[in-house]
Amino acid sequence: MGSSGRPISQEAFDALVAENVSDLFMDPEEALEDAVQTLTLQGVNLSGIVKCVPGVNRVEDNPVMRSLGGLKKMSGRLECSVLESSDIDEMVEYFDEICSSCSSGGDNASILMKNGGIEFLVSFCGACHDGSDRVLISALRALSSVLRDFQSREAFGRGDGPKITMDILRSSDDPNLLDCGFSVVVAAATGNEIVKEAFVELKIEELFLEILRGQPTGAVPNLYDAIRVLLTPDDNRVAASQVYGYARRFAKIGIADALLDAFHEGIGSPGLLSACIALKAIAVNDEICRSISSKGGIDVILQCIDDSSVYNNKAVAKACCSLLSKEAMQTRMLLSRGTVWIG
């Protein structure tokens, strides 16, 4: 996705292939290959085009198009008070097909986007908000699998994706559903300052804190990734990112303190590695680092480093050392300014 060049419709592409067969007497496979080569040389953007061999397969045979079409036909059933078990099974199968096809690479994510799939998935998640959790989990997984570039994330934003996602997250306490919801936040906010801002304006930090305090440590792994992504200045279009302000905002309400709980649980905490990476993203200035240190942060980080050597957990050791070096750098800066006193 995201290729530059002059766009072309599916219909125009199919017509060119058919013309190669009828007017130039090419074999179907040759006709398709020639159309692709000709248009590519002309600088045409073929992203999202289903490339069919005439007489062999059709656009509708593409797994993403087949699943998208099936879901559109079934979407009206969401208005029913209770979904039939067979409907749930069929919807889940379609969503799983989209997720599998788009996660495996190739052009399937672009095909779905070109055919309005992202807007449909966002809308479906909103409509399924009070329906089956099993369907909603599959829908969220499918949505996160297709948010892969600037265009797809912009479509997510235009379709009210941040608000719909937040509404879903706020209304559930199921760890699996929450994790899938935060996977959408991660996919949508990566490299997109506008989407990051939308989630922060919806006060996602309050939701982070509520879940960190209410769910067992590590029960929602993508929550930690969402914190990291929202605090990463990775949108190359923006000269001055707002993420450092977000980090101060997150720390102010107590997210850094909540993340420290994973360290106090020790090396056996399932969320320790993710919490370490998220905490490093929040520790952006002297004040936040000083607050972490005052709550025993350096001591528990050092303890986790010692324990990781005992249990040969190199990933945790590396992450803790990286976090500790950030804390140490801030401390040295404070010492050089004469603002830290050691009694």
Residue at 124 is within a domain: yes
Residue at 197 is within a domain: no
At residue 45, φ and ψ (nearest 5 deg) are -85, 110
Boundary-marking domain end, from 13, 40, 57: 57
In this predicted model, what pLDDT tens digit does every residue of 80-98 receive, in sequence order?
A: 656 788 999 999 999 999 9
Q: Decide: 140 and 181 in contact? Cβ < 8 Å.
A: yes
Cα separation, 326 vs 264, in Å, equals 19
Expressed as residue numbers, the domain containing 236 is 203-343
Q: Decide: 75 and 127 in contact? Cβ < 8 Å.
A: yes
Closest listed residue to residue 255, CA positions, set 279, 285, 273, 231: 279
Answer whether residue 235 shows pLDDT above 70: yes
- Mark whether 151 and 217 lie in a shared domain: no
Closest listed residue to residue 252, CA positions, set 220, 221, 284, 228: 284
- Mark whether 36 and 145 lie in a shared domain: no
In this predicted model, what pLDDT tens digit does every residue of 244-266 receive, in sequence order?
A: 999 999 999 999 999 999 998 88
Q: Decide: 127 and 135 in contact? Cβ < 8 Å.
A: no
Q: How confident is the model at residue 340 (pLDDT cuts 50, 70, 90)?
A: very low
Query: How many domains is the chain built from?
Result: 3
Boundary-marking domain end, from 189, 211, 227: 189
- Mark whether 271 and 326 lie in a shared domain: yes
Cα separation, 34 vs 20, in Å, equals 8
Boundary-marking domain end, from 189, 211, 230: 189
Model confidence, pTM: 0.89
- Mark whether 52 and 139 lie in a shared domain: no
At residue 6, φ and ψ (nearest 5 deg) are -70, 130
Residue at 198 is within a domain: no
